[in-house]
Chain A
Amino acid sequence: MSLVAQSRQALEVLPARELVRVRETEAVGQYTLLRVERGGLEPGIPGQFFMLEAPGRVLPRPMSLCLAPEGELAFLIDPIGPGTRVLCSLRTGDAIHVLGPLGNGFDLSVERPFLVGGGIGIAPLPYLSEALDHPSAILGFGSDLHAGAAALLPQAAVAIEPRLVTELLPDDPGDVLACGPEPMLEALAGLAPGAQLAWEAPMACGYGACYGCVVEIGGHYQRLCVIGPVLSAGVRERA
């Protein structure tokens, strides 16, 4: 716990929060890719996240960056609730406030990167894949329809339930970088103890103010937005 605290610096100055225009929304399988103008926002390190204003809602929604083309930020969103549905229904020209990048992303200094994503957890992998020169990857989805999002990571092998990503994982996958549902991350932590895992939690603020996103680490509740969302597998073995 103390090691984590030492290696993760508290934010001294919050990143910018800007009003940016929506360029377009695009259906990707069951999900929606929300493309917004970058404005003065930095894309940050893969695995970091942004707080997206969901118009008409009280709280913004945390989303990891999916793609960062020139002048743009793109977020992959699963319309599972009122906030994400509003975000998926935005139209070209609409404007939303975006705050970020926040949290701690993946450590990119790995020798043999291997990406694993599950469901909407594939969101940060396309941007991560670009940063690591498109390494091998496995994606898992709950249905053929959801698997349409695999188009975002063309090099990836795909597992569709009941088949699991862990069944496709090679014996020696190298340096695993993963994001997905908690059971998948827990299974990966067992198979690849050195893996870097991106977790999620409900967040009101994304910058350490609300204490809503805590996860249990070493017997203590710690804010995922401050110490994560990317944690090494040994730090959080069990959700």
Chain B
Amino acid sequence: MEPLPILNASGCLDALTAPDVAQRLDAYVTKTVTPLPREGNPPPRIAETEHGMVNSIGLQNPGIAAFVAHVLPRLRDLGIPIWVSVGGFSAGDYASMCEALDGHDDVATIELNLSCPNVEEAPESAAELVRAARSATKKPLYAKLSPTSDDIAETARAVADAGVDGLSLVNTIRGLALDRGTRTPVLGTGAGGYSGPALRPVALACVHACASVLALPIVGMGGVASGRDAADFAAVGASAVALGTVLFADPSAPAKVRSELDELRTAEARGRADSSERHQLPATRSVIS
């Protein structure tokens, strides 16, 4: 069986503060970069809930010019493929970001963040944003989609027709955490992006729906925290998985998920071999039992 590549979900790891964690991945996905620098949202920005967490970071980043000048050269030293996540507020933004990255050999893939729940959305449709990006670069493009669209398979088909090479499924969903004492929102912005274990069944449904109608590669993400979770995503059609919230709790998660997945697959292969041996027993045995 092909190894299942393990990436990080955008915004869940800083390879400059934890390079050794990033190097355990098959590719590093940057925090979303926007055309201009962004300070992000006012704190508090994170809150744990019973089965996940909400965040409202608000795409804090240095902007594409500073990213290309100061961050990208340092990411090269990681020695693994670099996926740059880009976000914007118009089709023109996506085009200019992709144009700025197109000439850089260090950029393996551009992930189009079409679905951040913490900032205003571009007025154009996802497919229009992809078309703008596609016209600006020949690099592989992945579209990161929200799980909250009415029919994600339809959105996936539209962005596929517009020229993406793969899908990143899924971004966070909107959630609200209340302070138990005051019953007011914990986050400075009110609601935020909900992630973690509770997102897993939602993400599995999206990957399953898209893989059923499209042959594009899919990076599955949403609550992946174990080898079994990764195997589940592969089973519904993911060709890679990305780790998100689990990285906050456990920076050794990449190695852990990989070894658990390897063990699981070995055990399952052994089980299949044993079972096929049993099937070769004389038919009388099954009658006797």
**Structural contact, A58 and B52, CB atoms closer than 8 A:** yes
Interface-facing stretch out of B41-49, B82-90, B101-109, B271-279: B41-49
Q: For chain A, what secondary structure do more than half of its interface residues adopt (helix, strand, loop), or is it mixed?
A: loop
**Structural contact, A212 and B17, CB atoms closer than 8 A:** no
Is B249 an interface position by the 8 A CB rule? yes
Tally of contact residues, B, Cβ under 8 A = 36
**In this complex, which of A11, A81, A201, A213 has the most chain B Cβ atoms within 10 angstroms of its Cβ?**
A11
Q: Which residue on B lies nearest to A211, using beta carbons? A: B57
Is A207 an interface position by the 8 A CB rule? yes
Tally of contact residues, A, Cβ under 8 A = 33
Q: With A17-B250, A214-B60 known to touch, is A208 a contact of B14 (CB < 8 Å)?
A: yes
**Structural contact, B17 and A209, CB atoms closer than 8 A:** yes
The 0/1 profile, CB within 8 Å of B marked 1, for residues 8-22 of chain A is 001111100100000
**Structural contact, A212 and B55, CB atoms closer than 8 A:** yes
Smallest Cβ distance from B225 to chain A, in angstroms? Answer: 9
State A141–B192 Cα separation when bound (angstroms): 35
**In this complex, which of A14, A59, A97 has the most chain B Cβ atoms within 10 angstroms of its Cβ?**
A59
The 0/1 profile, CB within 8 Å of A marked 1, for residues 130-170 of chain B is 00000000000000000000000000000000000000000
**Structural contact, A60 and B249, CB atoms closer than 8 A:** yes
**Structural contact, B17 and A11, CB atoms closer than 8 A:** yes
**Structural contact, A10 and B12, CB atoms closer than 8 A:** no
B202-222 interface (Cβ within 8 A of A): none
**Structural contact, A17 and B53, CB atoms closer than 8 A:** no
B20: chain A residues at CB < 8 Å are 12-14
Is A74 an interface position by the 8 A CB rule? no
**Structural contact, A83 and B48, CB atoms closer than 8 A:** yes
Is A53 an interface position by the 8 A CB rule? yes
State A127–B55 Cα separation when bound (angstroms): 33
Q: With A211-B45, A214-B45 known to touch, is A11 a contact of B18 (CB < 8 Å)?
A: yes
Smallest Cβ distance from B211 to chain A, in angstroms? Answer: 27
**Structural contact, B14 and A209, CB atoms closer than 8 A:** yes
8 Å CB contact of B17 from A99, A204, A226: A226
B12: chain A residues at CB < 8 Å are 209-210
B11: chain A residues at CB < 8 Å are 211
Is A148 an interface position by the 8 A CB rule? no
B48: chain A residues at CB < 8 Å are 57-59, 82-83, 204
8 Å CB contact of A205 from B51, B57, B247: B247
Given contacts A58-B53, A221-B39, 17 further A-B contacts (CB under 8 A): A12-B19, A13-B19, A14-B18, A14-B21, A58-B249, A201-B43, A202-B44, A204-B248, A205-B247, A205-B248, A207-B18, A208-B18, A209-B13, A209-B21, A210-B57, A221-B40, A226-B17
Q: Which residues of B pack against A, CB within 8 Å?
A: 11-14, 16-21, 31, 39-40, 43-49, 51-53, 55, 57, 60, 180, 196-197, 245, 247-252
**6 cross-chain pairs, A with B, having the tightest CB-CB distances, nearest first:** A208-B17, A212-B46, A205-B248, A204-B248, A208-B14, A211-B57
